[in-house]
A and B are shown apart, each in its own frame.
Chain A
Amino acid sequence: MSTWLNDNGPLLFLALLDGTVTAFVLALIALGLSLVFGVMRIVNVAHGELFMLGAVLSWFAFDLTNDPLWGFLTALVLAPVIVGSIAIFSDRFILRKISYHPESTIVATIGLLYVIQQLTLMFFGPEVRPVEAPFYFRIQFPWFGYSGYKLLVAGMSALCLSGVWLLMKRSKLGLYMRATQQDIEIAKTFGVPTQKIYASVFALGGGLAALAGVLVVPIRQADHLMGLEPLLLSFIVVIIGGLGSIRGTIVAAFIIGISDGIISVFYEPTLAKMLATLLVAMVLVLKPGGLYGEDQA
């Protein structure tokens, strides 16, 4: 055992470190999708594009201010607001028009996905554009170095997750949201403005996706096709965790993140993806509601 650790200790450490960062990022991206599904019972296929918009807006902010820190701060404030407004607009003029019908909303949000993606291609262009991190430092471990900004992203993500948790548990809006999630008809009878709650949840989901985009873009880059992968991963996380459950989303993100880290370091990254997909299939068969199925956030 000790010789194994001597040989593979650094590998295991890297796997856990990288896996934890991946998990926090995943949880943040998936959270919005999970909330929207939990409360509104609709699948927002355009969720990944809202994430992409966050990243792209972050690039514009960086380009305009020409300063990594100011660009980052500007984007951190403006991107969620802009994307949230787009979400409210989509809720008002698309989703409400089709009465949040489950199948129609899937088709409608697929349409939204293409509209956002192609508009970005028109105005942002096909290039992959880098955004400088607001600050840069490198942590040197005895065996390898690691990006300090990545750890910051994990921290910021943890903060956002706690914030949403508090919002759901402690605020009136959170109470209304939970009420709407449990039973929309009864919530209506008790005077919950469900229409407004729907709009707020959709905006919150979009805003969180955009926020994730702003945080992640310095460790990736911005391009108009970057929304697809987070969308798929979010679906995996949300299905495993249980739709609409914050706890489930976080637990599932850690299962996927850490196992992805360990399996890709010791075996093959493709194997990690295969196992994640297999896990989704097993959850769907054995526990269709997910690990924390009808758990109320």
Chain B
Amino acid sequence: MDHEEEKNASDVTRRSLLGTSAVLAGAGIVGSQLVDPVAKTAFAAGSDEPIRIGFQAHRTGIGTVYGKWYERTTNAAAKYINSIGGIAGRPVEIITEDDGTDPKRGADVVEKLATQHKVDFVYGTLFSHVVMGSAPRAGELKIPYFVVSEGYHVASGKLNRYVFQPCITDVRSQITAVSSWIFGNLGKNVTIIYPDYAFGYDHRDYASAAAAKSGGKIVAKIPIPMTEKSFTRYFIKIPQNTDVIYHVMVGPGVLTFVREMGEHFGSSHPKLFGFIDSLEGVNITSPGLGFLDGSYFWEAMPRYADGYDTIGSRFYRNAVGVNDSGASKSDPKDVSTYSHMFGCWETLFAIKEAVEQSGYKSKKDYGTLIETIEGFSFFNEGIAHPQGSKFFRGETHQGYGQQFVSQVKNGKLNVIHRTSISDGMYEPETDYRKQSL
């Protein structure tokens, strides 16, 4: 199978460029100010050389469901950005390559995008092992690499100065933000069930740290291998005195996980708190998920429209073609990965803001661009950042936003708590600005 290649060039033609005036093309306009959804296409005359953004997509492999929605969101964002005048007056062109959700291929894709397609930036990766595999290559090629992964790998200092995660909060911050709510509202004795690899360890370690702070106690830690298909044998290890089961399973086994947990416990069971990662792309009313009724979930951005109804979020939901229940408008059975894909939309706007504020023209301006981003401290809530405002730390290259806690009731996720950005803050562990460019 050859790598597929797709060029999603803007709909903009030369004629439309000449036919309209360059109104919105000025640098320095941040996304949040671009509130006019019907703004005319308007690229500055003489600057129609596109900004080429290489999109590393999970089109095949275990990340395919996320990949599909990441791609839809990316195309919707590019289309909208082009309709309001592009980036610094230049049209945006997205060049997509499949990484097979594979770290090795991820690194190859970064290289192919940088050297063959000669893109300005590489962007979009989700799965943390792919990010870990690809980031060193981006560093070697000295090309800015924007990830939408939520892993703690960027802020931990394990990567390099060319890697940014501006618009999706990292796992450590998410856990820190919701843990105090869990221990305060659901119970003190928590059993944590997590996937037996890096992403799971972040949950294990930072939930334990948060427990120590809020007077809670992790009574058992149960790691489950990623490839596991049957979970019955793990549930028997949950101690009797458990008040809350904190679960964060990912991968194709998730529905089995929930159903078997229901079979194991029956009607009397500890309270459940899960990360929505488990159910991204999955209909909450799927057979076997009835057991989740009454349980709680972390969401980064509420799947159901009534959970967070702002002008920006409504505009965004409509632009990516998602209905009020979080599924595709054209196929209600096609449920989105709503708590993650907003990161794609927002990251493209972060790139736009970075290019426009740094005066970036070509690859020789990478240094200025990177220093400009490192100088950012906020992204304002709005159409460009529909999930909410972000606090950005230049030293860790990581953005931080609000989080939501939702409860499953009547086959629907209902938002019951929203954290503030400060709930999720921790001491930075690295300073990428000290690395040379």
Contacts and interface: CB of A to CB of B under 8 A. Distances in A.
A221 B256 contact: yes
Contacts of B227: 229
Nearest to B256: A220
Contacts of B288: 130, 132
Contact of B286 (A130, A145, A269, A273): A130
B201 interface: no
Interface string B213-231: 0000000000011011110
A114 B1 contact: yes
Given A144-B236, A264-B233, A127 B266 contact: no
Contacts of A130: 255, 286-288
Interface stretch (B38-46, B60-68, B87-95, B304-312): B60-68
Contacts of A126: 60, 64-65, 67-68
B264 A145 contact: yes
A261 B256 contact: no
A127 B65 contact: yes
A13 B233 CA distance: 11
B303 to A, nearest CB: 16
Contacts of A114: 1
A225 B62 contact: yes
A11 B238 CA distance: 12
Interface in A94-134: 114, 118, 121, 126-128, 130-133
Contacts of B196: 270
A7 to B, nearest CB: 12
Contacts of A219: 230, 256
Contacts, number: 83
A49 interface: no
A11 B232 CA distance: 11
B282 interface: yes
Interface stretch (A14-22, A164-172, A191-199): A14-22
A229 B334 CA distance: 26
A81 B65 CA distance: 30
A114 B1 CA distance: 9
B229 A145 contact: no
A131 B287 CA distance: 7
A145 B260 CA distance: 9
A220 B67 CA distance: 23
Interface of A: 10-11, 14-15, 18, 22, 68, 114, 118, 121, 126-128, 130-133, 138, 140, 143-147, 219-221, 223, 225-226, 229, 261, 264-265, 269-270, 273
B281 interface: yes
A147 B252 contact: no
Interface in B231-253: 232-233, 235-236, 252-253
A138 to B, nearest CB: 5
Those 6 A-B pairs whose CB atoms lie nearest each other, nearest first: A126-B64, A132-B287, A128-B252, A147-B263, A265-B233, A130-B286
Given A128-B252, A145-B265, A146-B232, 6 more contacts: A10-B236, A68-B287, A126-B67, A219-B256, A220-B253, A229-B227
B126 interface: no
A221 B255 contact: yes
A223 B252 contact: yes
17 contacts: A11-B236, A14-B236, A18-B230, A126-B68, A127-B334, A128-B281, A130-B287, A130-B288, A138-B266, A144-B235, A144-B236, A147-B259, A147-B260, A223-B252, A264-B233, A265-B233, A269-B224
Contact of B264 (A133, A144, A261): A144
A219 B260 CA distance: 9
Contacts of B259: 147
A128 B233 contact: no
B8 to A, nearest CB: 19
A49 to B, nearest CB: 15
Nearest to B258: A130
Contacts of A131: 287
A14 B233 contact: yes
Question: Which of the listed residues A18, A68, A114, A221 has the most CB atoms from chain B within 10 Å of its own CB?
Answer: A221
A240 B211 CA distance: 47
Nearest to B232: A18
Contacts of B236: 10-11, 14, 143-144, 265
Contacts of B25: none
B65 A145 contact: no
A126 B1 CA distance: 17
Nearest to A270: B225
A269 B229 contact: no
A68 to B, nearest CB: 8
B62 A146 contact: no
Nearest to B223: A268
Nearest to A127: B65
B369 interface: no
